[in-house]
Amino acid sequence: MSHRPGRPKTRAQILGLADKFRQRAAAGWTTLLSPDTTMLISQALEEYAPKHPPLPARMPQPSRFDVDMYSSGSTIYKLTASGDILEIVAWAQNSLVARVAFDELVGRYPNDRFMQKRRSWVEREPHER
């Protein structure tokens, strides 16, 4: 199956090649591919691969009501016994308000561990009560 550069294969030719590959595989034969056939297979795989969805024409503008708990305010996390973050249990724009919430959570749930953070800065450690 010779391939002339610039001339695409027909559907019948491609299906014939696939059939030959199947027959050789079923017989247990090794198939050596020419550079042209390898290029044809790589193009077919590229077409077969799922396409990424297109990017939006422009990014949506954030609403004034959007809250990013990781970049603004103070977040209180519930921790596992090993100290890993399990879930976010409270958030406040003001660290003082978050501190009151932290104290309340520690009082209500003495067996649980909590940590208060503002971005990467730890404001209250799990061992603080």
What would the pLDDT profile of 1-43 be if each residue is shown by its tens digit?
Answer: 444 555 667 778 778 888 888 888 889 888 888 888 888 888 8
Q: Is residue 19 part of a domain?
A: yes
Look up the domain containing 94 and give its range. 74-124
pTM assigned to the model: 0.47
User: How many structural domains comprise the chain?
Assistant: 2
In our burial notation (b when 16+ CB lie closer than 10 A, e otherwise), range 40-64 reads beeeeeeeeeeeeeeeeeeeeeeee
What would the pLDDT profile of 33-85 be if each residue is shown by its tens digit?
Answer: 888 888 888 888 787 777 778 777 776 777 776 666 667 789 999 999 998 99
Mark whether 81 and 119 lie in a shared domain.
Answer: yes
Mark whether 41 and 79 lie in a shared domain.
Answer: no
| CB-CB neighbours of 86 under 10 Å | 13
